[in-house]
C-alpha cells in the first residue's frame, strides 16, 4: 500500500471513529486532535509549504514563491509539525516530509482544486453583485440621513451573498 492510500485509510478510519461516537461521549482531546489538523491548514503559507514539500520542491524554492525568507518560513514549518501534518524524517535524507495526514490533505486539495476554485469564484461573483446593489441602496439611505453602521452594511452584504449563492455553490460542491 502506498503512502497516499495509507494516509487516506488512516484518516478515514479516524473520522469514522469520531463520527460513530455519540456526541456526549466525545472527549475534548478528540476535538483538539481534529482542530489541530485544520489549524495547520489555516494559512496560505502553510498550504503552499505542504504542496511544495509534497512535490519535492526545495525549501528555498518555496520561500521564493511565498516571497518570505527561509527564517520567516520556520514558524510555519514548526506549526505544521505541531499540527501533525509534517515531520522531520531521520532516515530519508529529507529535512521535512509530510505525515499521512499531510499527504491526505494535499491530495484532497489537489483532487478538488477545480471545485474549490469554481465555488469561490461563484461566491465572489455574487458578492460583487450584492455590493453593487448595496451601494445603490446605501446612497439613498445616506441621502435620507438614516444612520446605518459600517458593520451593519458588512453583515448585510455577507448575508445576501450567501442567500444568493447558496444553491449554485452547493451544486458545484456536489458535482464531484
What is the mean pLDDT, run by run of 10 residues, along the chain of 176 residues? Answer: 54 59 67 83 93 94 92 93 93 89 92 89 89 80 76 84 86 79
> What is the per-residue pLDDT for 98?
95
> What is the per-residue pLDDT for 10?
56
Against a cut of 0.75, is the pTM above it?
no
Give yes or no for a contact between 101 and 13, defined as CB atoms under 8 angstroms apart: no
In the chain, where are the structural domains located? 3-111, 113-175
C-alpha cell at 32: 483538539
Of 172, 168, 159, 38, give the one whose Cα is nearest residue 101: 38
Q: Give the H/E segment covering residue 22.
A: none
Give the architecture-level CATH label for domain 3-111: Orthogonal Bundle (1.10)
CA distances from 51 to 8, 41, 48, 128, 162 (A): 16, 11, 5, 30, 30
> What is the per-residue pLDDT for 66?
92
> What is the per-residue pLDDT for 44?
92
> What is the per-residue pLDDT for 47?
93
Amino acid at each position: 500500500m502506498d503512502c497516499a492510500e495509507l494516509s487516506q485509510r488512516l484518516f478515514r478510519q479516524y473520522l469514522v471513529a469520531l463520527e460513530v461516537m455519540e456526541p456526549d461521549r466525545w472527549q475534548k482531546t478528540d476535538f483538539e486532535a481534529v482542530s489541530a489538523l485544520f489549524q495547520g491548514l489555516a494559512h496560505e503559507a502553510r498550504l503552499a509549504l505542504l504542496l511544495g514539500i509534497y512535490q519535492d520542491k526545495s525549501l528555498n524554492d518555496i520561500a521564493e514563491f511565498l516571497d518570505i525568507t527561509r527564517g520567516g518560513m520556520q514558524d510555519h514549518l514548526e506549526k505544521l509539525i505541531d499540527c501533525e501534518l509534517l515531520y522531520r524524517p531521520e532516515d530519508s535524507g529529507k529535512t521535512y516530509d509530510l505525515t499521512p495526514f499531510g499527504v491526505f490533505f494535499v491530495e484532497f486539495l489537489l483532487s478538488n482544486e477545480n471545485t474549490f476554485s469554481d465555488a469561490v469564484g461563484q461566491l465572489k461573483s455574487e458578492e460583487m453583485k450584492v455590493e453593487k446593489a448595496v451601494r445603490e441602496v446605501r446612497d439613498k439611505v445616506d441621502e435620507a440621513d438614516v444612520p446605518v453602521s459600517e458593520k451593519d452594511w458588512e453583515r448585510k452584504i455577507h448575508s445576501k451573498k450567501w442567500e444568493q449563492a447558496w444553491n449554485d455553490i452547493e451544486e458545484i460542491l456536489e458535482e464531484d
